[in-house]
Amino acid sequence: MMFMGEYSHTIDTKGRLIIPAKLREQLGDSCIMTKSLDNCLAIYTYEVFEAKATQLAAQSNGKASVRGLKRSIFANANELEFDKQGRILVPATLRNYAFLKKEAVVIGAGDHVEIWSREHWDAYSADMDANMEALTENMEGLIF
């Protein structure tokens, strides 16, 4: 399964966001949302989240960075429910983390879906576009 595409949506005053039908179908009935890198949110199928959670749980708690990552991921994980309009409720703590106000971007990111604020996504995208050659420099044999 591969999530692809970029979709613009708005978050209503109650914190609800539409997830595009194509992505909803791929996510299935049970999926998990949590914090991700670069101040965005990630939505995983239950199976992918479980596999990643198992890998993370296997890491030793001897390092502060590992303990911190476990706390951040698991404390902020939410099982999602879609309403009849295909919306999810994004908790206030996650909206704050991802700078989500009104305009949001929902993107397919391979094995998961990401939610970005429009402003943050535009800045991030522009930076990645400007550095495309540097990004692929160390990826031998991988050229798009």
**Is residue 102 domain-resident?**
yes
Give 3's Cβ-side CA count (13 Å radius). Answer: 26
**Is residue 144 domain-resident?**
no
Domain span holding position 59: 6-136
Confidence (pTM) = 0.90
* Angle of helix 46-57 versus helix 64-75 axis, rounded to 10: 160
**Is residue 1 domain-resident?**
no
Contact 114, 42 (CB under 8 A): yes
Per-residue pLDDT tens for 30-62?
Answer: 899 999 999 999 999 999 999 999 999 999 999
**Is residue 33 domain-resident?**
yes
Burial (0-12, 13-18, 19+ Cβ within 10 Å), 75: exposed
**Is residue 18 domain-resident?**
yes
**Is residue 112 domain-resident?**
yes
Per-residue pLDDT tens for 76-92?
Answer: 999 999 999 999 999 99
**Is residue 132 domain-resident?**
yes
pLDDT at 142: 56
Question: 101 in helix, strand or coil?
Answer: coil
**Is residue 101 domain-resident?**
yes
The answer to which of 14-18, 54-58, 139-143 has the lowest mean pLDDT is: 139-143
Closest of 90, 115, 99 to residue 6, by C-alpha:
115
CATH number reported for the structural domain that contains residue 70 in this entry: 3.40.1550.20
Per-residue pLDDT tens for 124-140?
Answer: 999 887 777 776 776 76
Number of structural domains found in the chain: 1
